Chains A and B, each alone.
Chain A
Amino acid sequence: MSKKILIADDDSSIVDSITMILEDEGYRVDTPIRSHDTFKTVKNTKPDLVLLDIWIDHEDGRNICRKLKSDGVTSNIPIVIISASQGAAQMAIEAGADDFISKPFEIDELLLKIQKNLRRGQTHGLKILI
C-alpha cells in the first residue's frame, strides 16, 4: 500500500502542484478541507507524513505542530514544515518538527526530504512495535 501524505497549506497553488508531483511519484495525497481542521484531519486519517505550512490562515503552524507532537495518536507522524523565511528552520525545530524545507524548493529536494522522513517514521514505528 502506497504511503499517504497530508498537505496543510492555505495556498491552493502549492497544495495543487505538490499533489500533482506526489501522486505522480505514487503517493496518496490528502488535504484537510479547511486548514483549521488540520489537527482533527491528521488524527482521523493518520497519514504517514505531514507537510505543514508555517502560517496557515493566520494561524501559527508551529502550534499545530506542537499539538500533533504532544498527542499520543499523532506524535509519531513525521512533520516537515514549509516556510518562506530563512529564520524558520530554527523555529520549526523548536516546535518539534522533524524536518524543514524553505520556499522556493526543487522537486528533488522535496522528494528526498519526504523519503528520508518516511524511513525515519518507519523505524520509529518499528521501535514502538518492539
Chain B
Amino acid sequence: MENTIYIASLVFALVVNTFLALYLIRTKEQSVALLAFVVFITLISVWGYPQFLINTFRIENYMFTYLDKISVVGYTFLPIAFLVFVLAFTERLDSLRNFQNVLLIFIPPVLFLYLSWNTSLLEYHTVDTIIHAPWGLSSPPSTYFIVFLIWFETVMMASLIILIKFLIRTYDSLKRRQAFWIILSALIPLVVGSITDGAMPAFGQANIIPMAIPLTSVMGIIITYAVLKHDLFEFSPTSIISSIGEGVVSIDSKGRIVFANDSALEMLKVEPKNIFGKSYFDVVRLRSEEGKVIPLKDRPFHRALTIRESIVGNYYISTEKVRKFSVAMTVNPLIKNKKVIGATVSFRDITREKEIETSKDEFISVASHELKTPITALKLYTSHLERQLSKKGDAQSILALSKIEHQTDRLLALVGSLLNVSKIKTGKYVYNMVQFPAQAIIKDAILTTRPLIKSRKIIVKGSTRRTLYGDREKLTQVLTNFITNALKYSQKEIIILVKDDNKQITIGVKDFGQGIEASDVKHLFEKYYRSKKDEYSQGLGIGLYVSREYVIAHKGKIWVESRLGKGSTFSFSIPI
C-alpha cells in the first residue's frame, strides 16, 4: 500500500486530537477560549477523518464526494475557530458584539463552503479527478482555490499577529506562557500545512506530500505536553478567583447573583444552583458591627453603586444555614463603558481576629488594673519618705525622691491611657452627655495644662457663645491632648483657634514646630501609632486615638493639617 505512512500519521493525528478535545472539554474550568480551542481541534478531526477513510478504503464515487464535502467543512471553518479562540484568549471578545464584525467573519466561510459544495470553482470532488500524491490521495484545486487560500492565510496571520502582540504586551506571566505554547504549537501545522496542502497545489505542485493533518498531531502533542507540564488552561482567571481564600460574589445591577467562588459558597453554606440568579439580598443578610440590621438603601452594595466607589467595612453576615459571623467586606462597583453593571463583593471571616482583639483588650484592661496597685503603694512609700526627710531637712534626698515621684506619675499616666483605650475598644466608655457652654472646653483645657504651659505663650483666636450637647470632660480632654502635644513638639507660642459657623464648632491648636511627615499623618490617629522620629518623647501615641474615639462618639470630625518645618494644626469639629 503506497499510502501506509500517510495513513499511519493520519491515524496518529486523529487519535491525539480526539483525545485532546475530550480531555479539554472535561476540565473543570470552562471558558470561551477553551471551548473555541476545542472547536478548533475538532474541526481538524472533521477535516482528517474523511481523508483517513478515503485513503484507507476503496471508496465508491458518491461516497468519495460525500466524504470530501465533510472534509471541506473542517478546514473552511478552521481559521474562524482559531480567530475566536485568540480573541477570547486575549480578552477581545467584545469586538464580536458588533454585528458587522460577526458578518465579516462568518460570511466568507459560509460562502466558500457553498461554492465548494455546489460548484467546481474552488475544488473538484469526484474520484476521476483525484490526484495521487506520493503519500495519499488529494482533491485537486480549481481555478479560484487561490482566493480561498488567501482568505484562509489572512485570517490565520491576523490571529497570530493578535496573539504575538498580546504576548509582547502582557505582563501576566501565566498568560505569556500560555500564549507562547499556543503560538508554538499552532504555528507548525499552520505554516507548513498551508504550504504543502494549500500553496503547493494552488500553484500546480499537487503531487507533494499533504502534511497539514499529520502536523496537527505535532501540535496536539505539544499542547498535551503544555497541559500536563505547564497547567495550560488550568489557571484561568475563573479558576484563580474560585480558589482564593476570600469569598467573592458578583452581583448584577438588579442585585442578582451572577457568580460566587468556592470560598463564598463554603462560607455561606449555599449550593450554586440555589443562588445563581437569586437576589443577593435574599441570600445574604447583613448586620452592622453593632448588630443592627442594615436597611437596603444603606447596604454597601447600594452605596457602592450610588457613589461608584469601593466600600470597605466590617459587618456580620448570615444566611439560611449559617449563623451570623464577622466579616471584613469590600464592595467594588463593576463599571463598564461608564455604566455601572453590578458589583463584586469580597469578604473574609474575621471571627478569630475579633476574638484575639477582644482578649487582647481584656488583657490590657486587667494588666493595667493590676499595675495600678503596686504603683499606688510605690507612691505612698515615696511620699511617706519625702515627709520624713523634709522633717529632717535633707534637701538633696528630697530632690531625688521628687524625681522618683515624677517618674511614678508618668508610669501612672501610661497605665491610665492603656486602660482608656481598652475601655473604648470594649465599648465600656460611658458618655456623660449634658448641655454646656462650648467656650468651657477652652477654659478647662487651659486650666488643666497650666502646669505645662509655664512661660510659654498661648493665644486664643475666636470665641463662641454656643451651648453644646456632649461630654464636657471628654471634649476638654481632646483639646488638652492637642495642647499637650503642641507644647511637646514646638518651642514657640501656640494658637488656639475657635470657629463657629452655625453648623458646627471647630476648635484647633496651631503650633510652629517641625511639622509631620505626610507618611505619618494618615496613621496619626491609629491605636499605638508613633512616628519613628518620635522615640525620645513621651506617650504611647494613644492620646490621639482616644481623642478620635471621643470626637467620633460626638458625630464630629478630627483632622490635622501639617507642613514640614512650618508646624501643624490639629482640629476637631462638633456639630451643633
The residues of A with any CB-CB pair to B shorter than 8 Å are: 11, 13-14, 16-18, 20-21, 24, 84-85, 87, 103-107, 110
Contact = CB atoms under 8 A, between A and B. Distances in A.
Contact of A14 (B376, B383, B387, B388): B376
A106 B383 contact: yes
Interface string B350-377: 0000000000000000000100111111
Contacts of B412: 104
Interface string B403-415: 0000000001000
A20 B386 CA distance: 13
A-B pairs, top 5 by smallest CB distance, nearest first, are A13-B377, A17-B380, A104-B376, A84-B372, A107-B383
Contacts of A21: 380, 383-384
A104 B383 CA distance: 13
Interface residues of B, number: 16
Given A11-B377, A17-B380, A18-B380, 10 more contacts: A11-B374, A14-B380, A17-B381, A20-B381, A20-B384, A21-B380, A24-B387, A104-B376, A104-B379, A106-B379
Contact of A104 (B375, B384, B388, B430): B375
A18 to B, nearest CB: 6
11 contacts: A13-B374, A14-B377, A20-B380, A20-B384, A21-B383, A21-B384, A24-B388, A87-B430, A103-B372, A105-B379, A110-B380
Given A11-B377, A13-B374, A17-B377, A24 B384 contact: yes
Given A13-B377, A16-B377, A85 B383 contact: no
A84 B430 CA distance: 17
Given A24-B387, A107-B387, A84 B380 contact: no
Contact of A107 (B374, B375, B380, B430): B380
Contacts, number: 48
Nearest to A102: B372
Contacts of A14: 373, 376-377, 380
B384 A84 contact: no
Nearest to A21: B384
Nearest to B428: A87
Contacts of A13: 373-374, 377
Contacts of B383: 21, 106-107
Contacts of B377: 11, 13-14, 16-17
Contacts of B388: 24
Nearest to B412: A104
Contacts of B372: 84, 103-104
Nearest to B377: A13
Nearest to B375: A104
A103 B419 CA distance: 13
A14 to B, nearest CB: 5
B451 to A, nearest CB: 15
Contact of A84 (B373, B379, B381): B373
B49 to A, nearest CB: 87
B376 A105 contact: yes
B574 to A, nearest CB: 24
A84 B372 CA distance: 7
A24 B386 CA distance: 13
A79 B381 CA distance: 23
